[in-house]
């Protein structure tokens, strides 16, 4: 009997060890389980080792003394309560809450710099491609959003790379990151001193950009600007096609020889029909070629067109323009808010054919117009 009793106690001790091992936090039953499917369980009554509940391989076992709420919070996933009465099998409640795992949430874009690419835009009007640099903002590739577009034209004897070289992309990156402006696309076309850029700009370039990029293709989300000769183009195109451009900027502008009468007619037309875009003029206080800026300010004032006219220290040079890149971008993007970019990409609106009025000539001698306070202009 002593031997039998010793054997009996040994067997009971072994069973107790096995029961403790089965109810401990570490078990081979948890192998292969994922954090999103880990379960926290507790028994509602004390049961013997032989009556311990059996759970499937996706269930993590916890000690009967653990708080199920604390266990569920630590797991951060699903909660299943087990209620058991003596002599009955465990019952699973239907009160289950599932928290998505990290893989269910797309990672935020960490890009901080936009990208420039070069493209040759086909032009049936010109008979040669419009060489163009295009900036897209950080996270453009992954966002799926549509963006406003800013067209900027370089000065005489320069190329489409001038704005990029002066730092327009760096300025845009900085202002976008700080939340001062909404992300935008910037298009830098080359002007080969060809007066046929009007109509090529609106019949070839605009449809290409709206077709190849995710743009908000309406006047309210499209702006045009330029420096020196490029400012002359911006005024000409922005006022003539005021239905396509909602904001027009001219930095140290130089109106083309012979184009004064056309620009004056465009000013008169937008003043009459109330379609004038937002207007911005700036000039260096030491700029010897300030005639166009002064004349435009006088004409906008005479026709009561709201506009901003800025005179700042500087001359007619790249040092002046590069110092004011942030100011230019703030003006163009003033009406564009990030919330607007959540809308789906719109279908590009048809581009109207250019009106039959003449395009500017870059070789004619400037003549004063017969409007009061008119100052003859020049090209540079």
- Which pLDDT value is given to residue 32? 38
Domain shared by 288 and 188, yes or no: yes
> Strands (DSSP E) along 122-260, which ranges?
130-136, 149-153, 185-189, 222-227, 247-251
pLDDT at 303: 98
Are 138 and 219 spatial neighbours (Cβ–Cβ below 8 Å)?
no
What sign has the CA pseudo-torsion 172, 121, 245, 229?
positive
Are 202 and 292 within one domain? yes
- The verdict on 263 and 334 lying in the same domain is yes
Q: What contacts 157, CB < 8 A, 6 or more positions away?
A: none
The range of the structural domain enclosing residue 271 comes to 115-342
Which CATH number does the domain housing residue 322 bear? Answer: 3.40.50.1820
pTM of the shown model: 0.66
C-alpha 90/C-alpha 51 separation (Å) is 10
Local confidence pLDDT in tens for the 380 residues of the chain: 444 444 444 444 454 444 444 444 443 333 333 333 333 333 333 333 334 433 333 333 333 334 333 333 333 333 333 334 444 444 444 444 444 444 444 568 999 999 999 999 999 999 999 999 999 999 999 999 999 999 999 999 999 999 999 999 999 999 999 999 999 999 999 999 999 999 999 999 999 999 999 999 999 999 999 999 999 999 999 999 999 999 999 999 999 999 999 999 999 999 999 999 999 999 999 999 999 999 999 999 999 999 999 999 999 999 999 999 999 999 999 999 765 454 444 444 444 445 444 444 443 333 333 333 343 344 44
Residue 211 Cα distances to 207, 216, 349, angstroms: 6, 11, 11
46 plus 151 within the same structural domain: no
Identify the pLDDT of residue 337.
77
Quote the pLDDT of residue 279. Answer: 98
> Quick one: CA torsion of 249, 253, 257, 259, rounded to 10 degrees?
20
pLDDT at 122: 98
Give the integer Cα–Cα distance in Å for 87 and 10. 27
Is 151 a member of any domain? yes
**Residue 128 sits in the same domain as residue 65:** no
Check residue 52 and give its pLDDT.
40
- State residue 373 phi and psi, 5-degree precision: 60, 30
Distance of CA 63 to the CA centre of its chain: 52
Residue pair 182/333 in contact (Cβ under 8 Å)? The answer is yes
Residues 183, 277, single domain; the answer is: yes
Residue 79, in any domain of the structure? yes
Contact 321, 312 (CB under 8 A): no
């Amino acid at each position: 009997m002593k031997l039998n009793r010793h054997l009996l106690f040994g067997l009971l001790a072994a069973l107790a060890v096995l029961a403790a091992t089965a109810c401990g936090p570490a078990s081979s039953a948890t192998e292969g389980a994922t954090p999103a499917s880990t379960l926290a369980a507790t028994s509602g009554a004390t049961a013997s080792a032989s009556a311990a509940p059996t759970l499937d391989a996706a269930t993590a076992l916890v000690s009967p003394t653990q708080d199920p709420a604390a266990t569920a919070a630590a797991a951060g996933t699903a909660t299943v309560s087990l209620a058991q009465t003596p002599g009955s099998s465990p019952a699973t409640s239907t009160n289950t809450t599932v928290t998505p795992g990290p893989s269910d949430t797309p990672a935020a874009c960490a890009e901080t710099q936009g990208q420039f690419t070069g493209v040759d835009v086909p032009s049936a009007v010109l008979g040669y491609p419009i060489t163009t640099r295009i900036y897209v903002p950080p996270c453009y590739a992954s966002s799926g959003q549509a963006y406003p577009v800013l067209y900027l034209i370089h000065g005489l004897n320069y190329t489409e790379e001038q704005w990029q070289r002066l730092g327009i992309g760096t300025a845009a990156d900085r202002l976008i990151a700080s939340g001062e402006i909404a992300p935008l696309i910037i298009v830098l076309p080359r002007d080969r001193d060809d007066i046929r850029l009007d109509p090529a700009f609106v019949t070839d370039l605009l449809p290409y950009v709206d077709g190849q990029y995710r743009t908000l293709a309406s006047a309210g989300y499209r702006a045009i600007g330029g420096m020196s000769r490029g400012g002359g183009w911006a005024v000409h195109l922005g006022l003539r096609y005021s239905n396509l451009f909602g904001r027009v900027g001219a930095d140290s502008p130089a109106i083309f020889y012979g184009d004064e009468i056309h620009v004056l007619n465009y000013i008169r037309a937008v003043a009459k029909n109330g379609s004038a875009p937002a207007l911005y003029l700036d000039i260096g206080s030491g700029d010897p070629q300030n005639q166009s800026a002064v004349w435009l300010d006088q004409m906008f004032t005479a026709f009561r067109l709201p506009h901003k006219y800025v005179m700042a220290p500087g001359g007619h040079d790249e040092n002046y323009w590069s110092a004011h890149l942030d100011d230019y971008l703030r003006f163009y993007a003033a009406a564009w808010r990030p919330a607007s970019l959540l809308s789906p990409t719109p279908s590009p609106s048809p581009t109207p054919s250019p009106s039959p009025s003449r395009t500017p000539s870059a070789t004619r001698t400037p003549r004063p117009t017969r409007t009061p306070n008119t100052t003859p202009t020049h090209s540079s």
